């Protein structure tokens, strides 16, 4: 199980990035807006980010 971001709901607060124990979430490189993305190779699916995300539905579990 991995995590993905729904950009229609994400408010780019960055909290998911702070709590991710694997640093699997980072802003899109070379993108000046703060759009975060999940590195599927690092994401272990632990769900810590889901627990802290303040924007309902912004972080979703994906296959």
Which positions lie near another protein, rule CB under 8 A? Answer: 14, 17, 20-23, 26-27, 29-30, 32
- Of 6 and 18, nearer to another protein (C-beta) is 18
| Positive or negative: CA dihedral 41, 44, 54, 15 | negative
- Of 44 and 62, nearer to another protein (C-beta) is 44
Where in 1-63 does DSSP place strands (E)? 2-5, 25-27, 36-38, 59-62
- Of 8 and 33, nearer to another protein (C-beta) is 33
47's tokens: 């769900």
- The nearest distance, CB 45 to another protein, in angstroms, is 16
């Amino acid at each position: 199980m991995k995590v993905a971001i729904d950009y229609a709901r994400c408010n780019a607060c960055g909290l998911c990035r702070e709590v991710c124990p694997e640093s699997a979430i980072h802003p899109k490189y070379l993108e000046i807006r703060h759009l975060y993305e999940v590195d599927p190779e690092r994401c272990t699916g632990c769900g810590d980010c889901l627990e802290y995300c303040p924007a309902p539905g912004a972080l979703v579990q994906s296959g």
